[in-house]
């Protein structure tokens, strides 16, 4: 009887493992694959919102309670021009369609670009733009340029040449890996994790850098070859000076803390992210010297970031 019970237990254990692919110990490489001449089409959606939690009364009329609210959606084209033996690819990235709407320092904006019906120039902002922040002009620069980029097999994103636009902003537009960041060096299996990092910026406020660390975990492999990757995001910096002449003049510093989460689906067969979706909330503390010689000024704000990419087959 004991022998029968033992064999039965062993059989159930084997069947249990065979019937549950998520528990497999198989390791695989997560690598991006490219073919010369192929065109990748992706849909993107991004949303950023900055809300003041604390602001000196005299600055409230200038900035308002929500100095920035941006919603973007569009269609991106990435064409593979060259593929090296190492697997690194040179691509040309461009915007085919983009819609942008929101609020920037009390100025509402609404921008709609379609490459099939291009506008030669953006509609100028009415009146003086506070702080020189003009989202319409910024979006138009992104939409009307061909951006040369390089992506290696781990998804490392590098600009080639000078577009005159912040590298962090273009990374947020065209990096299909999203906030997951680069893929791991070693082979991984279900349950394995790795870290990556990148820097974000806020459109029009590119002097404020937002360092994001991602801890990525392979949660399961579905449909035969699609790895589902869960991401835990964290933001944390000491009080760093904002690198800008006007900022240094007033000893302007920022401290950022935050967290978030996301999910990415990566096809092992095609070597490409199918889709990614991430959300993060960042607390911002900005301090500056009072121009009148009083106590230091403090601004407290909450930044919410939402980012989505999806490959169009």
The boundaries of the domain holding residue 53 are 27-311
Cβ(48)–Cβ(305) below 8 Å: yes
Each residue's pLDDT tens digit in the chain (313 positions)?
A: 444 444 444 433 333 444 444 445 589 999 999 999 999 999 999 999 999 999 888 888 877 788 888 899 999 999 999 999 999 999 999 999 999 998 887 778 888 999 988 665 665 444 444 445 577 888 888 888 999 999 999 999 998 888 777 788 888 888 889 899 999 999 999 999 999 998 888 766 667 788 899 999 999 998 779 999 999 999 987 545 454 445 445 577 888 999 999 999 999 999 999 999 999 999 999 888 877 777 888 999 999 999 999 999 7
Q: Specify if 289 maps to a domain.
A: yes
Q: Specify if 36 maps to a domain.
A: yes
At what angle are helices 167-174 and 135-143 packed, to 10 degrees? 60
CATH value at residue 241: 2.30.230
Q: Specify if 177 maps to a domain.
A: yes
Overall domain count for the chain: 1
pTM to 2 decimals?
0.82
Q: Specify if 184 maps to a domain.
A: yes
Q: Specify if 4 maps to a domain.
A: no
Q: Specify if 11 maps to a domain.
A: no
The pair of structure tokens assigned to 143 is 């939409």
Scanning 109-150, the segments in alpha helix (DSSP H) are: 135-143
- Pairing of the two strands 193-202 and 205-222: antiparallel
Render 238-287 in DSSP notation, one character per residue. Answer: --EEP-SHHHHHTT-EEEEEEEEEEEEEEETTTTEEEEEEEEEEEEEEEE
Q: Specify if 8 maps to a domain.
A: no
Q: What is the pLDDT of residue 74?
A: 92
Q: Specify if 21 maps to a domain.
A: no
């Amino acid at each position: 009887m004991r022998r029968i019970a033992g064999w039965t237990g062993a059989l159930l254990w084997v069947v249990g493992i065979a019937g549950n692919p998520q528990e497999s110990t198989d390791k695989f490489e997560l690598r991006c694959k490219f073919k010369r001449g192929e065109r990748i089409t992706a849909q993107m959606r991004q949303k950023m919102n900055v809300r003041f939690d604390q602001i000196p009364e005299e600055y409230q009329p200038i900035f308002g309670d929500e100095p920035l609210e941006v919603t973007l959606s569009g269609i991106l084209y990435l064409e593979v021009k060259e593929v090296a033996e190492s697997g690194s690819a040179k691509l040309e990235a461009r915007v085919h369609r983009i819609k942008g709407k929101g609020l920037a320092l009390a100025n509402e904006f609404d921008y709609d670009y379609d490459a099939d019906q291009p506008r030669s120039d953006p509609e100028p902002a009415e009146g003086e733009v506070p702080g020189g922040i003009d989202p319409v002009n910024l979006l138009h620069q992104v939409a009307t340029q061909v951006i040369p980029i390089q992506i290696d097999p781990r998804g490392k994103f590098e600009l080639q040449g000078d577009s005159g636009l912040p590298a962090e902003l273009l990374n947020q537009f065209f990096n299909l890996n999203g906030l997951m960041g680069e893929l791991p060096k070693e082979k991984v299996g279900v349950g394995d994790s790795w870290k990556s990092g990148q820097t974000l910026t806020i459109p029009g406020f590119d002097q404020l850098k937002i360092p994001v660390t991602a801890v990525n975990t392979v949660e399961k492999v579905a449909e035969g070859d699609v790895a589902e990757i869960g991401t835990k995001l964290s933001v944390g910096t000491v009080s760093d000076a904002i690198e800008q002449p006007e900022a240094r003049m007033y000893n302007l510093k920022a401290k950022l803390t935050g967290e978030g989460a996301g999910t990415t689906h990566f096809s092992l067969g095609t070597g490409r992210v199918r889709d990614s979706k991430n959300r993060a909330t960042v607390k911002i503390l900005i301090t500056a010297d009072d121009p009148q010689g009083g106590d230091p000024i403090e601004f407290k704000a909450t930044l919410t970031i939402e980012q989505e990419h999806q490959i169009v087959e």
